[in-house]
Amino acid sequence: AQSVSQHNHHVILSEAASLELGCNYSYGGTVNLFWYVQYPGQHLQLLLKYFSGDPLVKGIKGFEAEFIKSKFSFNLRKPSVQWSDTAEYFCAVLNTNAGKSTFGDGTTLTVKP
């Protein structure tokens, strides 16, 4: 069975600080990787995705993530966070054979103005 581990449960940063959220997964087959975000009072929505090709992917609002296959990792980064980035962030792995996504427990990011 696949699993997803997010290392930080709650991160608190000041505006303009850099962000890195860790995500590791445990499946050796072909995967698609995602970061989803849930802003306060809103639905879960896609932040960025990796299917193949360039392991450095860019998403909305200046976020990026790097897929490192040898480390089974897909860490999320942003060079300078804003107050509006306050949200809960979920890493997810899709097992393309099984057709279903497995989610991590999420990281709550609080950005202080």
Partner 1 sequence: GAGVSQSPRYKVAKRGQDVALRCDPISGHVSLFWYQQALGQGPEFLTYFQNEAQLDKSGLPSDRFFAERPEGSVSTLKIQRTQQEDSAVYLCASSPFSRTGNSGANVLTFGAGSRLTVL
Decide: is 52 part of the binding site for partner 1 (CB under 8 A).
yes
**Which stretch in 15-23, 42-50, 57-65, 77-85 sits in contact with partner 1 by CB under 8 A?**
42-50
Choice from 36, 63, 67, 74 touching partner 1 (CB under 8 A): 36
Which helix (H) or strand (E) segment holds residue 30: the answer is none
CB atoms within 10 A of CB 92: 21
Decide: is 98 part of the binding site for partner 1 (CB under 8 A).
yes
Least spacing, CB of residue 15 vs partner 1, in Å: 26
Decide: is 103 part of the binding site for partner 1 (CB under 8 A).
yes
Choice from 4, 65, 109, 111 touching partner 1 (CB under 8 A): 4
